[in-house]
């Protein structure tokens, strides 16, 4: 019963949300979301936020993500696409996050990025008022309590999103390379092309010390801004090279023709929002989308872009398209030189500005230098020097040494 009610509410909200298009500029931009979505983006627990580090509170209960992400099981897949608002990678397979102050196990649905057109901005969260050039969000949903991400997305603590800020490096980050290499294929959202990249352990995307993070309760940073998110923002940054960041900035916004209303407007619109949340394995919605494609193919033979996309989504599910994704990429390439390409803009600055804290406390998993450590059975935070997962039963001597290392690294970072 709860599942049905939850889904119904979610569905209604999604339809309402997509009924009015949103974006990041002008009258569809973040300043207008609260007007466009009065029940959704005007709450008091909104995200992102600025993190004033000196006002954060050390919580020794915020331990490492002990189980964290499973290594990818056979058959796991990453699918990259441009949803019109971001580059998003949907995960297929068993990826989980747990512990880290979370009371339940959360399943990973997708990860995506927010970036700027220049290096001085781009991230959603800011640290002491400073943005980063790009931020990655790993979206996870509470699979202990809920049956789907659609149900979890509107419930308190239904989602756990991990935020990773990046800093620019002179050398390419090898972790990002498989993704960066396929961005040229998915840069045009109108083609709805999906590119598969090898699935890797999600932990490889995290900074070197994933046990050091900030924690607060907030919302999705895109409409409907549901206040259902336990946020983790990591203390350390990942790196991205200028070249890699430049490739992100070549990604395109959708053209307007994609947003034209049609008899099937709502089903496609709902699907777009569902995709943004990482909801893909929904039989009803898939079937609806297929019907939409078939209808569209019959009535709008001129618009072949969407039909082509059907082959990308479900290579074996359509009668008329059975060519490989590689062929589609090659085949569709000449279309990018059409006049439409000249009038569309690059997808940059796809971030929501920071929102008021409204009295919320931001916790931190690590102590600052000189901060008293609770005695007794409390486990302390320590650095994974080699980037490996921390173990709770590590010898106390090693803990002490690592704690000292943590103190020193924080002290050094404060001095620099
Ligand atoms: Zn995001």
pLDDT by position in tens, the chain (length 416): 443 444 444 545 554 455 447 899 888 899 999 888 777 899 999 999 999 999 999 999 998 875 566 678 888 999 999 999 999 999 998 899 999 999 999 999 999 999 999 999 999 999 999 999 999 999 999 999 999 999 999 999 999 999 999 999 999 999 999 999 999 999 999 888 999 999 999 989 999 999 999 999 999 999 989 999 999 999 999 999 999 999 999 999 988 654 444 444 444 545 555 555 655 545 554 454 444 444 444 443 333 232 233 333 333 322 223 223 333 332 333 344 454 554 458 999 999 999 999 999 999 999 998 887 766 544 544 444 343 434 433 333 333 444 444 444 444 444 44
Calculate how far, in angstroms, residue 136's C-alpha sits from the geometric centre of ligand 1.
7
Calculate how far, in angstroms, residue 162's C-alpha sits from the geometric centre of ligand 1.
9
Calculate how far, in angstroms, residue 311's C-alpha sits from the geometric centre of ligand 1.
27
Active site residues: 85
Q: What are the residues whose beta carbon lies below 5 Å from ligand 1 (ion)?
A: 137
Across the chain, which distance is largest between two alpha carbons, in Å? 72
Per-residue model confidence (pLDDT) at position 282? 52
Ordered by where they begin, the domains of the chain are 1-366 (3.10.200.10), 367-415 (no CATH)
Residue 371 in contact with residue 380, Cβ under 8 Å?
Answer: no
Give this prediction's pTM: 0.72
Per-residue model confidence (pLDDT) at position 70? 65
- Report how far residue 274's alpha carbon sits from residue 266's, in angstroms, rounded to the nearest whole number: 12
Work out the number of other CB atoms within 10 angstroms of the CB of residue 378. Answer: 10
Calculate how far, in angstroms, residue 1's C-alpha sits from the geometric centre of ligand 1.
30
Per-residue model confidence (pLDDT) at position 311? 31
Calculate how far, in angstroms, residue 228's C-alpha sits from the geometric centre of ligand 1.
14
Per-residue model confidence (pLDDT) at position 333? 35
Calculate how far, in angstroms, residue 220's C-alpha sits from the geometric centre of ligand 1.
7
């Amino acid at each position: 019963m709860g599942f049905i009610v939850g889904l119904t509410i979610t569905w209604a909200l999604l339809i309402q949300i997509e009924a009015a298009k949103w974006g990041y500029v002008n009258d569809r931009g973040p300043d207008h979301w609260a007007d466009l979505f009065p029940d959704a983006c005007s709450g008091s627990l909104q995200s992102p936020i600025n993190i004033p580090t000196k006002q954060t509170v050390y919580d020794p209960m915020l331990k490492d993500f002990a189980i964290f992400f499973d290594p990818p099981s056979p058959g796991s897949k990453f699918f990259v696409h441009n949803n019109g608002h971001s580059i998003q990678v949907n995960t297929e397979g068993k990826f989980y996050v747990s512990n880290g102050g979370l009371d339940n196990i959360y399943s990973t649905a997708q990860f995506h990025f927010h970036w700027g057109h220049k290096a001085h901005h781009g991230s959603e969260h800011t640290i002491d008022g400073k943005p980063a050039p790009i931020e990655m969000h790993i979206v996870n949903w509470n699979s202990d309590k809920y049956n789907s991400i659609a149900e979890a997305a509107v419930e308190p603590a239904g989602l756990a999103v991990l935020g990773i800020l990046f800093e620019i490096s002179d050398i390419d980050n090898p972790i990002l390379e498989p993704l960066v290499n396929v961005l040229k294929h998915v840069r045009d959202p109108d083609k709805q092309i999906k590119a598969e990249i090898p699935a890797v352990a999600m932990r490889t995307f995290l900074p070197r010390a994933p046990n050091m993070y900030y924690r607060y309760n907030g919302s999705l940073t895109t409409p409907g801004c549901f206040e259902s998110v336990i946020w983790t923002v990591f203390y350390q940054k990942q790196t991205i090279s200028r070249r890699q960041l430049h490739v992100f900035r070549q990604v395109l916004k959708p053209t307007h023709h994609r947003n034209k209303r049609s008899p099937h407007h709502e089903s496609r619109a709902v699907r777009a929002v569902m995709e943004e949340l990482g909801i893909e394995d929904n039989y009803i919605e898939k079937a609806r989308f297929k019907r939409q494609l078939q209808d569209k193919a019959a009535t709008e033979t001129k618009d072949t872009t969407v039909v082509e996309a059907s082959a990308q989504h479900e290579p074996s599910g359509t009668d008329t398209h059975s060519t490989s994704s590689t062929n589609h990429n090659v085949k569709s390439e000449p279309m990018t030189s059409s006049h439409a390409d000249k009038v569309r803009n690059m997808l940059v600055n796809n971030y929501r500005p920071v929102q008021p804290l409204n009295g919320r406390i931001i916790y931190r998993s690590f102590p600052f230098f000189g901060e008293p450590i609770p005695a007794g059975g409390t486990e302390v935070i320590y650095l994974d020097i080699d980037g490996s997962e921390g173990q709770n039963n590590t010898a106390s001597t090693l803990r002490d040494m690592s704690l000292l290392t943590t103190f020193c690294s924080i002290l050094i970072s404060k001095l620099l």
